[in-house]
């Protein structure tokens, strides 16, 4: 009886969005009288930080600081349609819609500033901290604050824009399955190192080393939080979770967090993450959606590591101590 170590690898890809069902999102952007930038949506922030990412995308396009952007979302009276926050689509779909809306709003903003500065709009640029100036002549400048006031009270212009992003629905060909399920794919490769106790069947995940290719890390810290959380969920899926441990008997099903098993703080693996960026052709600043993918490669990597450690294959999830022990006994008997 011993604790045996092993390691396993797995590599995956994952589509961004749900093109097989039609996948639209809309956005509106407008300026307040004093140059605050409002983004109006009906998209839902699930706690992953959609508002923050959308604010940064809008700020980049408008040429204003992220702080100047306010996200008003998840209200069907004010926000235009969004398909929803799922299918790894939020950043990609909402982000693209917001870029289009912000480009239109920026154009009006520059036209108003051009009138104020007696310049041509194409000769203007934003400085990213709240001002507009003539390229190469930063002394010929006007603040966005003053530009917005002028638009509202002097020129009668609405600094606003509409954005729409739609990947048209793909209908699979019935006989061949020819279809276009996505326009871009994120990628991952994970190596898991485990220690398996061949007396108890218990598995300790010693380390998880993940590499994710996600198009573009729009906010690296937020990317990290999502990837670390996903990596934990993958381990949880591999080793712990099931709503029906002795199906079709249902009386062992977890009813709360005490009974529904997931890894606790003492079970956390040493987690390492590297991120690669290959910008997607149609992503907002190259982003793809890694939200779902990041919880996938750990599952087979852990399964393969268990085989490497003790030489039995558990091809049914979750890989519980009971299943490992039964497999070890079966091998002994054989």
Contact positions with another protein (CB under 8 A) in 134-163: none
Query: From the list 39, 55, 112, 114, which residue makes contact with another protein (rule: CB under 8 A)?
Result: 55
Q: Is 255 helix (H, G, I), strand (E, B) or coil?
A: coil
Query: From the list 180, 263, 321, 328, which residue makes contact with another protein (rule: CB under 8 A)?
Result: 180
Q: Which is nearer to another protein, 149 or 318 (CB)?
A: 318
Smallest gap, in angstroms, from Cβ of residue 253 to another protein?
A: 5
Contact between 211 and another protein per CB under 8 A: yes
Query: From the list 1, 118, 136, 175, which residue makes contact with another protein (rule: CB under 8 A)?
Result: 175
From residue 16, alpha-carbon distances to 1, 7, 167, 172, 232 in Å are 46, 29, 11, 17, 21
- Residue that is written with structure tokens 């709503």 in the block: 243
Q: x/- site string to another protein, residues 285 to 304, per CB under 8 A? A: xx----xxx-xxx-xxx-xx
Q: Which of 240, 310, 332 is nearest to 3 (CA)?
A: 310
User: What is the 3 state secondary structure string of 301-314?
Assistant: HHHHHHHHHHCCCC
Contact between 132 and another protein per CB under 8 A: no
Smallest gap, in angstroms, from Cβ of residue 215 to another protein?
A: 8
Q: Which is nearer to another protein, 60 or 116 (CB)?
A: 60
Q: Which is nearer to another protein, 36 or 84 (CB)?
A: 84
Smallest gap, in angstroms, from Cβ of residue 213 to another protein?
A: 4
Which strands sit side by side in the sheet containing 137-143, from one edge to the other? 124-126, 131-134, 137-143
Contact between 106 and another protein per CB under 8 A: no
Contact between 166 and another protein per CB under 8 A: no
Contact between 38 and another protein per CB under 8 A: no
Query: From the list 94, 142, 209, 309, which residue makes contact with another protein (rule: CB under 8 A)?
Result: 209
Q: Which of 115, 162, 164, 152 is nearest to 31 (CA)?
A: 152
From residue 60, alpha-carbon distances to 32, 95, 103, 196, 286 in Å are 18, 11, 10, 49, 13
Q: Rounded distance, CA 315 to CA 175, Å? A: 31
Q: Is 315 helix (H, G, I), strand (E, B) or coil?
A: coil
């Amino acid at each position: 009886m011993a604790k045996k170590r092993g390691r396993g690898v797995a590599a995956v890809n994952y589509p961004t969005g749900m093109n097989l069902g039609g996948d639209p999102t809309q956005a509106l952007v407008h300026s307040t009288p004093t140059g605050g930038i409002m983004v109006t949506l009906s998209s839902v922030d699930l706690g992953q930080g959609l508002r923050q990412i959308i604010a940064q995308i809008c700020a980049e396009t408008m040429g204003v600081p992220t702080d100047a952007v306010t996200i008003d979302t998840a209200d069907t009276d004010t926000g235009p349609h969004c398909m929803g926050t799922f299918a790894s689509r939020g950043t990609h779909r909402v982000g693209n819609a917001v870029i289009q809306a912000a480009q239109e709003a920026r154009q009006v903003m520059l036209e108003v500033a051009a009138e104020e500065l007696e310049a041509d709009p194409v000769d203007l640029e934003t400085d990213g901290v709240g001002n507009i100036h003539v390229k190469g002549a930063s002394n010929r400048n006007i603040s966005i604050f003053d530009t917005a006031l002028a638009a509202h009270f002097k020129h009668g212009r609405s600094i606003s824009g509409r954005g729409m992003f739609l990947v048209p629905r793909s209908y699979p060909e019935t006989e061949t399955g020819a279809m276009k399920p996505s326009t871009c794919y994120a990628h991952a490769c994970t190596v898991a190192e485990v220690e398996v106790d061949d007396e108890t069947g218990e598995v300790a995940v010693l380390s998880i080393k993940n590499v994710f290719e996600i198009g573009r890390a729009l906010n690296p810290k937020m990317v990290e939080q999502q990837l670390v959380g996903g990596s934990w969920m993958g381990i949880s899926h591999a080793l712990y979770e099931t709503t029906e441990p002795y199906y079709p008997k249902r009386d062992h099903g977890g009813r709360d967090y005490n009974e529904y098993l997931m890894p606790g703080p003492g079970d956390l693996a040493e987690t390492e993450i590297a991120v690669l960026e290959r910008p997607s052709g149609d992503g907002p600043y190259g982003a793809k959606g890694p939200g779902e993918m990041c919880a996938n490669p750990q599952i087979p990597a852990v399964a393969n590591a268990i085989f490497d450690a003790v030489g039995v294959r558990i091809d049914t999830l979750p890989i519980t101590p009971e299943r490992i022990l039964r497999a070890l006994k079966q091998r002994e008997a054989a």
